[in-house]
Chains A and B, each alone.
Chain A
Amino acid sequence: MIKIDGLSVRFGGIKPLDELDAEFAAPICGLIGPNGAGKTTLLNVLSGFVTPIKGTILLNDTALLGLSPRRRVSLGLRRTFQQELVVDELTATENIQAVADHVSGNRASARRQVASALEFVGLGDRRNILGRRLNLFERRMIEIGKTLIGQPKAILLDEPGAGLNEEETDRLRWLLVKIPTTFDSQLVLIDHDADLIASVCVETLVLDFGKRLAMGPTRAVLNDPIVRRAYLGRE
């Protein structure tokens, strides 16, 4: 569970996050909002790449602020980035192995976890293919596979469905739903695809100008007139 209290971030005269309170308790939580709402900034604060001016964040009752990004990884925090960051020169296996090198116990365990992550994301038969030869969907799957290594407790996915077609999004949806039960971890999902959010997220937080606009069961939140006006652009 991720608990955020009074979180504020300031970049010069701009406050991308302003006194934010939120609690991600459901197995899959959504994080939505218009561009510039502060979604990625929140993920960067959670990962340790941005230091807030005030507030607290708890991951399963452990205070995250003040910890290095690496320490947060060791606590089970994983994330992907908006832009897929698969290394072209490494194979699919090596891309995931590169994470396993640093978060898994021993070599044998790392190898097992890499193999099972590849199978889980459906790339078992593409394991020896170089990153540069993988298509966008496969690269997105590699990114998700990297987060499944080393007993993750919370996985933050920043627009994993960006650029995917309908069929690929369906496969992504199917995969995301299985992660919490298979890996005993919580998912926090940012995406602009409201249908994807509606179909997989139990709870959703809506941000607007760095403030909490709404939070609660996804269906109720997406039907909230304030949210529809601010985010979906319709009444």
Chain B
Amino acid sequence: MTEVARTDAVPLAAAASAILSPQLRAATIVVVVGVVSGIIALTCGGYWLSNFTQAYCMVLAVLGCALLYGQLGLVSLCQWALVGVGGWVSLRVYHYIHPPFFVTILAGGIGASVIGMIWGLPALRMRGLYLALVTLMLAGAFQTLVFVISFPVGGPGFLGQVGASGNDRINMARPVFASSDTGYFLFVAGVTVLCIFLVEAHRRSKPGRAWALIRKNEHMAAAAGVRIVFYKAWAFALSGFVAGVAGALLAGLFGQLDASAFPTTASIVIFIGTLLGGYDVWLGAFLGGLLTRFVPALLIDLNVNTNVGFMIFGAALLFALRDPLGLGGQITLLAERLYQQFQGKRAS
């Protein structure tokens, strides 16, 4: 994670979002995610439904990444590895005690939260490019480690492996009420909304204000009595938690996870998604997450090499650098200007 300077254009979105009451903001989140999810659930099946379920997991990963970047200016290049950590922990817990699915999700979130906090420790001392590289190396280390130990599949021992044949692999069961693909997709959408609420509640309360002070100037924050280390660690923990929840949801989607699904490059793509979507508003994370999965899925569907996706993201990033609000920020700004006009007309 590295600390970088943001441009002054960004607060525009935050400025616009400040006009909405908390209730209206919450209702907006439910309506937008609900409508998008409803359309997907009604129109998609099989390949696309699975991809949109994965896309929602990406949304959670981007949400955590945007939290760190938007609130503290820290670039996390190990977010997808934290998703993997969450998946590993949730599978491990599931195969040990077969708890209710919600407990499995929580376990994944808490596991990644702890690891995220530990991985965030360098950010308390390091700055700049070095810090970004450290997190990238951590993602690389996770990739190597998970290739060696693999994900638990219900075997004996701590690692839970069943040998080369793989015949005795046990899949993680989905919740009873969401056992179908459509049901599970809607369940993941619901969890996504809850995670967005969780992050938004933080951004707009005591931790969010503390992060804002730290972001502005650490000396000023310390002079205001803010516990810098504590609040930075809190941000890493929260970011790790939502990533871990995403990992658990992925495990639920496939029943098991494969090490090849967690390459180091995915964390970079998530950060690009964060910039494309916009990191100051929840809608940015939502759109950024959807895009990072939708584009590769579309390329596969069209029989185009998925590496073309990197070229597309690279080109889009050039536009994102010119417009720090991102797609979500622009839409939010537009929507809230319209809302202000509507309010003005109603008042007159």
Residues of chain A whose beta carbon lies under 8 Å from any beta carbon of chain B? 47-49, 69-70, 73-74, 78-79, 81, 85, 87-91, 94, 97-99, 101-103, 130, 132-133, 146, 150
Which 10 residue pairs are nearest across A and B when measured between Cβ atoms?
A: A102-B225, A98-B209, A73-B225, A89-B14, A69-B222, A99-B224, A85-B220, A88-B11, A87-B212, A101-B206
Q: Do A97 and B222 have beta carbons less than 8 Å apart?
A: no
Question: Which residues in A have their C-beta under 8 angstroms from that of B280?
Answer: 89
Knowing A85-B217, A87-B212, A94-B209, say if A70 contacts B227 (CB, 8 Å). Answer: yes
Query: In the complex the two chains form, what is the Cα distance from A87 to B224 in whole Å?
Result: 13
Q: How many A-B residue pairs have CB under 8 A?
A: 74
Q: Do B225 and A99 have beta carbons less than 8 Å apart?
A: yes
Q: Do A73 and B212 have beta carbons less than 8 Å apart?
A: no
Most chain A CB within a 10 A radius of its CB, from B217, B220, B223: B223
Distance in Å: Cβ of A190 to nearest Cβ of chain B: 15
New A-B contacts (19) at CB < 8 Å, excluding given A69-B219, A87-B215:
A49-B222, A73-B222, A73-B223, A74-B225, A78-B223, A85-B217, A85-B220, A87-B212, A87-B213, A87-B216, A88-B8, A88-B11, A94-B209, A98-B210, A99-B225, A102-B227, A130-B14, A130-B15, A146-B224
Question: Which residues in B have their C-beta under 8 angstroms from that of A79?
Answer: 223
Q: Give chain B interface residues in 183-221, CB to chain A under 8 Å.
A: 206, 209-210, 212-213, 215-217, 219-220
Knowing A89-B11, A90-B209, A130-B18, say if A103 contacts B223 (CB, 8 Å). Answer: no
Q: Give chain B interface residues in 214-252, CB to chain A under 8 Å.
A: 215-217, 219-220, 222-227
Which residue of B has the minimal Cβ distance to A94? B209
Q: Do A98 and B212 have beta carbons less than 8 Å apart?
A: yes
Which residue of B has the minimal Cβ distance to A130? B15
Interface size band for B: 20 to 34
Question: Which residues in B have their C-beta under 8 angstroms from that of A87?
Answer: 212-213, 215-216
Most chain A CB within a 10 A radius of its CB, from B11, B15, B220: B220
Q: Do A69 and B15 have beta carbons less than 8 Å apart?
A: no
Q: Do A81 and B210 have beta carbons less than 8 Å apart?
A: no
Question: Which residues in B have their C-beta under 8 angstroms from that of A98?
Answer: 209-210, 212-213, 224, 226
Query: In the complex the two chains form, what is the Cα distance from A47 to B11 in whole Å?
Result: 30
Q: Do A103 and B212 have beta carbons less than 8 Å apart?
A: no
Knowing A70-B227, A89-B11, A130-B18, say if A102 contacts B210 (CB, 8 Å). Answer: yes
Query: In the complex the two chains form, what is the Cα distance from A79 to B219 in whole Å?
Result: 10
Query: In the complex the two chains form, what is the Cα distance from A91 to B204 in whole Å?
Result: 11
Question: Which residues in A have their C-beta under 8 angstroms from that of B224?
Answer: 73, 98-99, 102-103, 146
Query: In the complex the two chains form, what is the Cα distance from A98 to B220 in whole Å?
Result: 11
Question: Which residues in B have their C-beta under 8 angstroms from that of A74?
Answer: 225
A-B contact pairs, 12 of them (CB 8 A): A47-B219, A47-B223, A87-B216, A89-B18, A94-B212, A98-B209, A102-B210, A102-B226, A102-B227, A103-B225, A130-B18, A133-B15
Query: In the complex the two chains form, what is the Cα distance from A146 to B225 in whole Å?
Result: 11
Query: In the complex the two chains form, what is the Cα distance from A214 to B280 in whole Å?
Result: 51
Distance in Å: Cβ of B72 to nearest Cβ of chain A: 13
Which residue of A has the minimal Cβ distance to B227? A70
Question: Which residues in A have their C-beta under 8 angstroms from that of B226?
Answer: 70, 98, 102
Contact of A90 among B8, B212, B220 (CB under 8 A): B212
Question: Which residues in A have their C-beta under 8 angstroms from that of B209?
Answer: 90, 94, 97-98, 101
Query: In the complex the two chains form, what is the Cα distance from A146 to B226 in whole Å?
Result: 13
Q: Do A69 and B223 have beta carbons less than 8 Å apart?
A: yes
Question: Which residues in B have their C-beta under 8 angstroms from that of A146?
Answer: 224
Which residue of B has the minimal Cβ distance to A104? B225
Question: Which residues in A have their C-beta under 8 angstroms from that of B212?
Answer: 87, 89-90, 94, 98
Which residue of A has the minimal Cβ distance to B71? A89
Query: In the complex the two chains form, what is the Cα distance from A9 to B213 in whole Å?
Result: 28
Distance in Å: Cβ of B128 to nearest Cβ of chain A: 21
Query: In the complex the two chains form, what is the Cα distance from A79 to B222 in whole Å?
Result: 10
Question: Which residues in A have their C-beta under 8 angstroms from that of B210?
Answer: 98, 101-102
Distance in Å: Cβ of A3 to nearest Cβ of chain B: 21
Query: In the complex the two chains form, what is the Cα distance from A103 to B221 in whole Å?
Result: 12
Distance in Å: Cβ of B6 to nearest Cβ of chain A: 11
Most chain A CB within a 10 A radius of its CB, from B219, B224, B226: B224
Query: In the complex the two chains form, what is the Cα distance from A132 to B14 in whole Å?
Result: 11
Query: In the complex the two chains form, what is the Cα distance from A130 to B206 in whole Å?
Result: 17
Query: In the complex the two chains form, what is the Cα distance from A97 to B213 in whole Å?
Result: 11
Q: Do A85 and B225 have beta carbons less than 8 Å apart?
A: no
Contact of A132 among B11, B219, B222, B227 (CB under 8 A): B11
Which residue of B has the minimal Cβ distance to A132? B11
Question: Which residues in A have their C-beta under 8 angstroms from that of B215?
Answer: 87
Q: Do B216 and A70 have beta carbons less than 8 Å apart?
A: no
